[in-house]
Every structure is written in C-alpha cells, then in structure tokens.
Amino acid sequence: MKKAIVYYSYSGHTKRIIDMIKEKIDADVFEIKPKEPYSTNYDEVVYLGQDEVNRNYLREIEDININLDNYDTIILATPVWWYTFAPVVHTLLEKYDLKNKRVMPIITNGGWLGHTVEDIKKYSPNVTNELILKFDGDKLVTDSSAIDKFIEEANK
C-alpha cells in the first residue's frame, strides 16, 4: 500500500509531529499551504479562523501536485481550529475524493478537539487509527507511545 502524508501547520506543532514520523513511515509528504498566507499575529488568526470555520469558508490553497489515485492510505494532519479541522484542510477535503482511501488523521490541539474526527469522517468512511495529540503551549502533553503506536499501525 502506498501512503501519502498530507498536512497543514500554522504554528509549527503539526509540522513537528510530521517531521518526527516521516522518517519512520514510507510515505510521500505534501504540505498544504494557503495561497494567501495567514497573518503571523496569532490573535488575528484566531478571530479570522473562527470566522472562516463559521462560514464554511474554503480558503484557496496552493496546488500540492498530488494524484490520489497513486495512494491507498492518506495520513491527514491538521491542527484544530474552532473544534474542527483548519479551513485549508477543509478546502483539500472538498477538492479531493477520499471516500475510497484509508484515512489516518493526526490531530493536534490545545485541548479542544471538538468534532474534528467526525468532520473528517464526512469525507471518508475509512477513517482509522486517529492520533490525537494535545499540546500545552509548545510542550507535547500526549505520551510519545501514542505516536509509536500510530506509526506501527501506519506501517501495516
């Protein structure tokens, strides 16, 4: 089974996790980037992100040059923005059909997971082995054994 890791990271937490696992999982890695970058001012992004989530806004993303027909498993990594996935991940999920893919979510959050997993399942019925990672500031709170178990499952 061929795997792809597709991720978005605003603050760097999600990227940090991807950097940890990409050496241990045989997968192609693709970063989701908004065409118009978000502000570096966290407070501005919090309010803008809330507005985008509430409006179901599909923020334009740069082309990631992925042909999903080439992959059986998609490891989809996103931070939680207002109880769901980031708006750029929403755009990706609307653009690409994941219904026949095994989707393994990695979800980073500061304690408010919300309905992120359920929202991803709306785009793929084959969501398995989600990895929920909680951060307290820059510190990863979730035990690293959860990451090891996720890697083991991804490599099956």
Q: In a structure prediction context, what are the per-residue pLDDT tens digits for the chain, which is 156 residues long?
A: 799 999 999 999 999 999 999 999 999 999 999 999 999 999 999 999 999 999 999 999 999 989 988 999 999 999 999 999 999 999 999 999 999 999 999 999 998 899 999 999 999 989 999 999 999 999 999 999 999 999 999 998
CATH class of the domain comprising 3-154? alpha beta
> What is the pTM (predicted TM-score) of this model?
0.94
- How many residues would you count in the chain? 156
Contact 133, 107 (CB under 8 A): yes
List Cα–Cα distances, 85 to 10, 22, 144, in angstroms.
12, 21, 22
The first and second tokens of residue 104, run together, are 């393994």
The CA-CA-CA angle for residues 106, 38, 55, to 5°, reads 75
3-state secondary structure of 154: helix
